[in-house]
Amino acid sequence: MEPHKKSSLSDVSNTSLKTLENFMTVVALYKNNSFIDDLRDRGYGDADFGIAKSTLKFNATLNSGDIVDREVAQEAYYRTDTGGFLGNHGLNYKLISHTDMIDSSRNLLERSDLNLQDVKEDITVGYGGAVCFVKHELPNHTIETPDGDAGHLTLLKVNSINSLMAYHSTIGLRQWACMNGQIFTNGAAGYYKNKHTQSLSLNHSNQIMANVLGIMDKQNEIWHQWYNTPVTSEEAFKIFAKAAGAESAISKIESGESILEVLDDSHVSKNRKLFYMLKKWGEHYASKLGKNYWGVYNVLTDWSTHYKPSPTKNKIMDLPKVGHQNSEIVRKIISSNSFAKAA
């Protein structure tokens, strides 16, 4: 029989701390339960449907008259309400239903110590139900940006069943004045992305998102550093060209050509994305926020939030996907060496 082990002061302290943490979790749940229950009572909107799957079969009649009928290593996913096809995948595909994603967001907020009064929930479904975005905006959690504006804390989750996008969960700010979706730097704790493989975990995603308040403080510090770091016209141009995919324009600037000379190039002059950002920079952000990295960053978030591709090439429901892809481009750029040096 092992001798009784006396509890140390640290053991008692750890036990007391754990008890306090559990108590605070219960308090938060009680406080936020009514606000989240209101959202639950509203249901899931257009995302409120079941998803089923069936094994795909290959069926063909050969010239000899023989019939080939066999299963393939693919499964088709479809809506249980309309029978609408959502996508087909291999046998290792991990399905996350839109309702499960929405529930995970609601549960995350319910278990937090955030003030959820007046929380705004927006559920957007596209591609016949294959893609879903759920956004929660928390008007009682704001942070002041370097230019004196203020932003609302926003939780965004993205799910698709047609392979258009990986599962995403991210936290950022929604500014009042310009309504640009502020994008946090890559590697910040408020970002999770995973393909629909067996490693995809809603719990892991929520654990990352739970660190949001610390992220806000850290990100605000970075924004102020960007505000205090001047940027040259050439450097700003190269950043916008990078976002617009105009690599040739960057090469021309680095070889010594002026911005005006580069813009005269027939290929560069057709890049609508680049000219959108240059116009926003010249007419608004450079004068309002100053010629600094904070101003450049706001041009990028303006573009990722508001830019609309040519309507002749993109359907209306493609816009959420385009905005999400543009946000990914911005995230990579603000994690680049240029912005890292500014911070």
Tens place of pLDDT per residue across the chain (343 aa): 445 444 444 444 455 555 545 545 555 555 678 899 999 999 999 999 999 999 887 776 667 767 766 667 789 999 999 999 999 999 899 999 999 999 999 998 988 888 899 999 999 999 999 999 999 999 988 878 888 887 888 888 999 999 888 898 888 777 556 667 666 554 343 677 888 888 888 887 887 777 666 667 677 888 899 999 999 999 999 999 999 999 999 999 999 999 999 999 988 999 999 999 999 999 999 999 999 999 999 999 889 888 877 765 444 445 566 777 888 888 889 887 778 777 6
Q: What is the pLDDT of residue 19?
A: 54
**Is 138 within a domain?**
yes
Q: What is the pLDDT of residue 276?
A: 95
Q: What is the pLDDT of residue 170?
A: 83
* Number of domains within the chain: 3
List residues bridging with 172 in a β-sheet: 154
Residue that is last in its domain, among 177, 211, 245: 211
Residue that is last in its domain, among 89, 117, 140: 89
Residue that is last in its domain, among 64, 89, 114: 89
Interacting residues of 135 by C-beta distance below 8 A, sequence separation 6+: 120, 121, 122, 124, 154, 155, 156, 157
Q: Which domain holds residue 249?
A: 228-342
**Is 25 within a domain?**
no
Q: What is the pLDDT of residue 54?
A: 93
Residues 160 and 255 in one domain: no
Residues 184 and 233 in one domain: no
Q: What is the pLDDT of residue 343?
A: 65
